[in-house]
Amino acid sequence: MATVPPYPTYPADAPGGARFGHAHWWQRRRVRYGALITLLALSGLVILALVRQQTGTEGFLVGLGLAVLPVPLLVAAFRWLDRVEPGPWRNLIFAFAWGACAAALIAIVANSFATRWIATATADPTSANTLGATVIAPVVEESAKAAAVLLVFLFRRRDFTGIVDGVVIAGVTATGFAFTENILYLGTAFGTDQMTGGGGITSATAGTFFVRVVMSPFAHPLFTVLTGIGFGIAALTAERRHARRVLVPLCGLLLAMGMHALWNGSSSFGDYGFFAVYLSFMVPAFGLLTWLAVWTRQRELRTVREELPAYAVAGWLGPVEPFVLGSMRARRLARQWAGHHFGKTAARAVAQYETCATSLAFLRGRGRRGRAGADFVAREQELLAELWARREVARPALAHAARAMTPVAPPVVVPPPRPMYGYAPAYWAPPHGPVAPYPAHAPQVPHPAQAPHPVHPVHPAHAPHPVHPGQHNPYRA
């Protein structure tokens, strides 16, 4: 039987142990959440007043109704991309709110100030507007949107583990920014039509809607996704490579600014410059980044299938679960079966089980590549405890999905075990003989005397796990 607790304990005087002083009032979670919500709410009110002032009430309502149309489609697309290891909704809500409120407010104020200053300094308003659109706006807007990705990367590091997470956060932030910007442009076009008497498909409103909503709803997400890819690569980089972790996101931001500048300057390339840039550059770039995102998603599923068999051997997962958890269709079948037989609560439990198992596979993959952090053991045992608590509902659902996917359950091919943290491969043998896929009388809560052996049953105080993760590889003896 296992003799270690499901969560690691530390001596009272050890680093990271139990002796912590009381947090200051500004370090409390409620205070930080309250300050962030207040900041976004104030930014939203200010940006609402500014847009309404420029478009008028009627133009604002028309712009709002037209600008909201592509938002559900874009958010659904990014959420679909994030289905392998779905992040919490609060991160997406924050990203959208930051883009729609804070980033849009920064862009409007900074762009207006810079354009007026250039026009005053050069006495040439036309050149000032062109310079502001092709130089000032890309730098300001992409920097404002990148701030949301940076905040999630720094303060929600557990939810930011790879390229897909960077693409999703950046894309949702840019979707919020484009939403506010479209309200402004469409409302202004509607006001112009009201003054000139334009209407129909030849009106300024129809033309603006076709260009911004029909032809290029992906423009802003496409720019900012480059920044998100940079942060995603940084998340996959070992912590000891500080220069790479800084330079790669910065390069992504510079690429986003360059693409944005090319897009804004396409109207000055002649009568057909816009369409030339759109067809020769924007559409291929959109296709390439879409392929990269989908390929990365499939690679994540392959990582799940390759890393989880070790936990199946140790008894934490059923024999067929690595196969099921590596297929999105099988996952969906498991959730549907649980919801049909046991209700929505069971379906949510299966979804949480799938998410925890995916996070466990990614954690093990990072450790195998020598990129595990100092909290590797604690995080692994935390995820194992979450799996064990939901196994009674999840295992029958996943077994049903395996039977539905193939008439005969595929054999579990276990790769040759690797020594982990200096321990011999003999540890990988099942602790009590063959592990039954559904323990008949297993407890609901993991207990150190009843749970199977964890993959690393080593007390962190005695494990050869250095403080500096850059100096070790936990998967080498």
39: three-class secondary structure by DSSP:
helix
Q: What does the block give as tokens for 100? A: 């729609």
Q: How far apart are CA 280 and CA 299, in angstroms?
A: 29
Residue 414 has a pLDDT of 57
- With a cut of 80, say whether residue 431 has pLDDT above it: no
Res 449 pLDDT > 70: no
Judge whether residue 112 has pLDDT over 50: yes
Would you state the structure tokens that stand for residue 69, as one six-digit string?
């149309």
CA distance 432 to 315: 9
Q: What is the model's pLDDT at position 440? A: 39
DSSP, residue by residue, 341-384? HH-HHHHHHHHHHHHHHHHHHHHHHHHHTT---TTHHHHHHHHH
Lowest mean pLDDT among 27-36, 69-78, 330-339: 27-36
For 119-149, how does the pLDDT look when each residue is reduced to its tens digit (9 = 90+)? 787 767 777 777 888 889 999 999 999 999 9
- Give the model's pLDDT for residue 15: 40
Q: What is the DSSP string of 53-112?
A: HHHHHHHHHHHHHHHTTHHHHHHHHHHHHT-SSPPPHHHHHHHHHIIIIIIHHHHHHHHH
For position 369, what pLDDT does the model report?
A: 79
Say which amino acid occupies 407: P
pLDDT of residue 468: 42
In angstroms, the CA 193 to CA 138 distance is: 28
Q: What pLDDT does 24 receive?
A: 65
Q: Give the pair of three-digit tokens for residue 321.
A: 């679960």
Q: How confident is the model at residue 411 (pLDDT cuts 50, 70, 90)?
A: low
Grouping H, G, I as helix, E, B as strand and the rest as coil, residue 31 is helix
Q: Which residues contact 182 (CB under 8 A, 6 or more apart)?
A: 63, 66, 67, 212, 213
